[in-house]
């Protein structure tokens, strides 16, 4: 039995690291896609000036912000456990670890597919290194528990360990934090918390029922979306303007659909990429485009096969 306990501890750690890999890969892909849009010219103008393309990148930026917040929260809880043996953090991490791994893994795959598509045909050519973004992302929903495996683990945590209590408490606290920022967002969180509370109560009462097991996947997707909205509200309450905008957009997605089958909220529009609200900027300043994006764009503009000659090493660039 002690060996099993130790093994499950390591599973929690690897799931949290999986979430971090997903969040990091999403931010890297977003940097590539934005840089390429800046230097790629179509129809007489920069691709970045297209309202439709900016809206697409805005969706990806919100996804990346949410994944980063969720993975970061999981690591914060893990740190509190390892440093101070915090029992409250341990109780919350019991459900946050599988939820973070599940949600970020699915978001990473959907985002990576969009990144590849944003490069057009060059994004599918192996020599550019861009397809690696999708290959690296696809393992994330599989390793250390597929979506269905994690969904059943979440059910066990909710019903056997009352793991929903700390999550619902965080949602309730976020409602109060959101009220001064956006009454609509506060109402969305309050509604989500109430609905999730009712669902958890019903699931606990009928554990093992076919309908409960069949609905485990949907519940396991709703929980991290609501939690992510709460985490972004917490960041916004610290004075982070980017987090406030991301929280409003993510909250609107929660209100509209609670996330779709791929694990992505509806498009937020281009606002997140404008001015000081551009996620992925350092100190409000855009950095130069990654070499991969610039070289692919140069080849595409020339209308030759030179876009296929990007050094494979670019795929391992920290950008």
**Domain annotation for the chain: domains and CATH numbers:** 2-277 (1.20.140.10)
Q: How far, in Å, CA of 236 to CA of 247, rounded?
A: 8
**Dihedral (C-alpha) 222, 228, 233, 237: value to the nearest 10 degrees?**
150
For the cut 90, the answer to whether the pLDDT of residue 302 exceeds it is: no
Task: Give the confidence band of 127 by pLDDT, cuts at 50, 70, 90.
Answer: confident
Q: How far, in Å, CA of 248 to CA of 188, rounded?
A: 10
Please state, rounded to an integer, the average pLDDT across all residues of the chain.
82
Task: Give the confidence band of 253 by pLDDT, cuts at 50, 70, 90.
Answer: confident
Per-residue confidence (pLDDT) for residue 10, from 0 to 100: 82
- Are 315 and 29 contacting, i.e. CB atoms less than 8 angstroms apart? no
Q: Which residue has the higher pLDDT, 175 or 291?
A: 175
With 0.85 as the threshold, say if the pTM is over it: no
CA neighbor of 67 nearest in space, from 31, 110, 105, 30: 105
Which of helix, strand or coil describes residue 208?
coil
Supply angle C-alpha 296, 302, 307, rounded to 5: 30
Q: Encode pLDDT of 27-82 as tens digits.
A: 999 999 999 999 999 888 899 999 999 999 999 999 999 999 999 999 999 999 99
Q: What is the mean pLDDT of residues 280-297?
A: 48
Task: Give the confidence band of 11 by pLDDT, cuts at 50, 70, 90.
Answer: confident
For the cut 60, the answer to whether the pLDDT of residue 315 exceeds it is: no
Q: What is the mean pLDDT of residues 276-283?
A: 36
Q: What is the mean pLDDT of residues 13-35?
A: 95
Cα 73–chain centre separation = 12
Tally DSSP H helices, then E strands, for the chain: 11, 2
Long-range contacts of 147-151 (CB under 8 A, 24+ apart): 147/102, 147/105, 147/106, 147/217, 147/220, 148/216, 148/217, 150/98, 150/99, 150/101, 150/102, 150/220, 151/102, 151/216, 151/217, 151/219, 151/220
Task: Give the confidence band of 26 by pLDDT, cuts at 50, 70, 90.
Answer: very high
| Cα dihedral sign, 245-251-254-256 | negative
The Cβ-side half-sphere exposure at 178, using a 13 Å CA radius, reads 28
Per-residue confidence (pLDDT) for residue 73, from 0 to 100: 97
- Are 167 and 92 contacting, i.e. CB atoms less than 8 angstroms apart? yes
Pairing of strands 45-46, 41-42: antiparallel
Q: How far, in Å, CA of 298 to CA of 274, rounded?
A: 25
Where do we find the tokens 């999550």? Answer: 167
Q: How far, in Å, CA of 194 to CA of 192, rounded?
A: 5
Q: Encode pLDDT of 67-99 as tens digits.
A: 999 999 999 999 999 998 899 999 999 999 999
Q: What is the mean pLDDT of residues 187-200?
A: 94
CA neighbor of 60 nearest in space, from 290, 250, 286: 250
- Are 194 and 36 contacting, i.e. CB atoms less than 8 angstroms apart? no
Cα 59–chain centre separation = 11
Q: What are the tokens at 28?
A: 């890297």
């Amino acid at each position: 039995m002690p060996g099993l306990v130790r093994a499950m501890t390591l599973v929690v750690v690897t799931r949290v690291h999986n979430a971090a890999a997903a969040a990091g890969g999403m931010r890297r892909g977003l940097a590539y896609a934005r840089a390429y849009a800046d230097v790629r010219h179509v129809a007489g103008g920069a691709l970045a000036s297209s309202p439709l393309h900016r809206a697409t990148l805005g969706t990806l930026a919100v996804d990346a912000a949410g994944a980063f917040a969720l993975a970061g929260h999981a690591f914060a809880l893990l740190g509190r456990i390892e440093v101070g043996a915090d029992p409250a953090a341990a109780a919350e991490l019991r459900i946050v670890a599988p939820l973070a791994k599940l949600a970020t893994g699915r978001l990473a795959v959907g985002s990576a597919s969009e990144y590849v598509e944003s490069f057009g045909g060059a994004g599918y050519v192996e020599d550019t290194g861009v397809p690696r973004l999708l290959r690296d992302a696809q393992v994330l929903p599989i390793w250390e528990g597929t979506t269905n495996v994690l969904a059943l683990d979440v059910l066990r945590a909710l019903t056997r360990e009352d793991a929903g209590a700390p999550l619902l408490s965080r949602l309730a606290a976020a409602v109060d934090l959101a009220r001064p920022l956006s009454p609509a967002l506060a109402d969305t969180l309050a509604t989500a918390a109430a609905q999730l509370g009712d669902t958890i109560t019903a699931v606990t009462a009928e554990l093992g029922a076919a309908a409960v097991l069949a609905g485990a996947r949907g519940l396991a997707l709703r929980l991290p979306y609501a939690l992510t909205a709460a985490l972004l509200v917490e960041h916004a309450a610290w004075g982070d303007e980017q987090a406030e905008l991301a929280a409003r957009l993510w909250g609107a997605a929660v209100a509209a659909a609670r996330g779709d089958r791929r694990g992505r909220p509806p498009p937020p529009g281009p606002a997140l990429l404008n001015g000081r609200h551009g996620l992925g900027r350092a100190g409000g300043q855009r950095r130069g485009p990654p070499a991969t994006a610039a070289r692919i764009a140069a080849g595409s503009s020339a209308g030759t096969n030179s876009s296929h000659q990007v050094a494979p090493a670019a795929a391992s660039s920290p950008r």
